[in-house]
Amino acid sequence: MFLGCQFSLYPMTDRFVEVILGAIDRLQNLGDRLRVESDDLSTLLVGAPEVLFPALQECFVQAAGRSSHLVMNVSLSRGCPGEPDDPLCHSAALGGSVEPTAAGRVSAALGRLGPVAPTGIPAAAQIALYPLGRPDYMAAIGDCIAFIKKSGLHSRAKHFCTRMDGDAAEVFQAIETSFLCFGGHDDHVVLTAVISKGSPSPRPAAG
Amino acid sequence: MFLGCQFSLYPMTDRFVEVILGAIDRLQNLGDRLRVESDDLSTLLVGAPEVLFPALQECFVQAAGRSSHLVMNVSLSRGCPGEPDDPLCHSAALGGSVEPTAAGRVSAALGRLGPVAPTGIPAAAQIALYPLGRPDYMAAIGDCIAFIKKSGLHSRAKHFCTRMDGDAAEVFQAIETSFLCFGGHDDHVVLTAVISKGSPSPRPAAG
């Protein structure tokens, strides 16, 4: 299993350099549990989801505290057949004998949601799930949308993606669950997400 | 056929509102040829590629002229089976009797590249192609990477995406060609792209 993401922080401020570096420099503390590589476009994270997702959320929270409008862009990938197995990525979240089945995956995903410590940061996100190599991929996408609608996060249909609104901690939990629960353990699954805080543009009505 | 994208502009400046609105307000001029809908997260464009891609590039150029560091994030989609056919999207680029074949698609894509009027804006981009619903999708991805390597744009392998560097006009042409040429006319194909100008971080060496 190879699991990771490319992500970027976009603080809409003249002080963007210090906001970005102040957030991603803290990732170095996770040195032996997460592979971290930054360039001028994005930062690569490779590791197990239980390490990777808290690190992503912490980066968002750190940067959000120092920029009135901030966007994080993330492309997550797991199981790409072109990537090597990496022990750093081994995780109970994608192992064990219980494979998600189409019939039970929405309720399994809902069952994975638990109480989270709120960050106090209202976030809006839009995500798109791409289960690759499977003719039945549209059913998995439909189930993921059904999960988000039932998650309690305010959501709204958009072309090409699904929107959700909530505390940043709830949003990151829903993104992690969407990424892990819709596709077999060894499937190649991609999820893209844009997570935004503090846009001055009006939020659309629910629908 | 339904073809379009969600895109966002991220100008890393305190003046981000005027930079974003100054660029996307110009899209209204394309009213009857392109469907345009903005909210607080992104702008939806629906239309034929020969209208959509010049509009995207124009937005990038307009915003780049007013922000020293700017990023555009784009998620393109065509042929999604959950979307209705839309006459606005009909295009010779995805019609006619000549379907791209696996054997000839790299050279067909290279043959589609022509001289473009340079914008004078150096851009760096990273893209990922997701041909959906096909067990042989990795071959299409591999061919798209081979095309970018042969396109003359400085390129570099990264996990989960492929990088290119060049004048913004060359970069947008390569993105459009990647999106249109790797997958059958009626296939569901997604391409995500991040296009950046003016990052103060050092550019990695070619490789």
Other CB atoms within 10 A of residue B83 CB: 18
Contact A170, A182 (CB under 8 A): no
- For A13-17, which contacts have Cβ atoms below 8 Å and span 24 or more sequence positions? A13/A67, A13/A68, A13/A69, A13/B12, A13/B13, A13/B14, A14/B12, A14/B13, A14/B14, A15/A66, A15/A67, A16/A67, A16/B12, A16/B13, A16/B69, A17/B200
Give the DSSP H/E element, type plus range, for residue B38. Answer: strand B35-38
Residues 36-75 of A with CB under 8 A from B: 38-42, 44, 46, 69, 71, 73, 75
Residues 6+ apart with CB under 8 A from B59: B7, B9, B23, B24, B26, B27, B72
Predicted complex ipTM: 0.96
Provide the angle, in degrees to the nearest 10, between the axes of the packed helices A49-64 and A168-181: 150
pLDDT for position A141: 96
Q: Which residues pair with A131 in a beta bridge?
A: A189
B202 contacts A40? CB cut-off 8 A: yes
Residue B91 CB partners (closer than 8 Å, separation 6+): B1, B3, B48, B49, B50
**A chain contacts of residue B125, beta-carbon cutoff 8 Å:** 41
Residues of A in contact with B164 (CB under 8 A): none
A-B contacts (CB, under 8 Å): 143
Profile chain B (207 residues) by mean pLDDT over runs of 10 residues: 97 98 94 94 98 98 98 98 94 75 88 96 98 96 96 89 97 98 93 98 78
Per-residue confidence (pLDDT) for residue A202, from 0 to 100: 87
Q: Is the overall model pTM greater than 0.95, yes or no?
A: yes
Q: What tens digit of pLDDT does each residue of B79-97 get? A: 999 999 999 999 988 876 6
Whether B8 sits inside 8 A of A77 (CB atoms) is no
DSSP A10: E
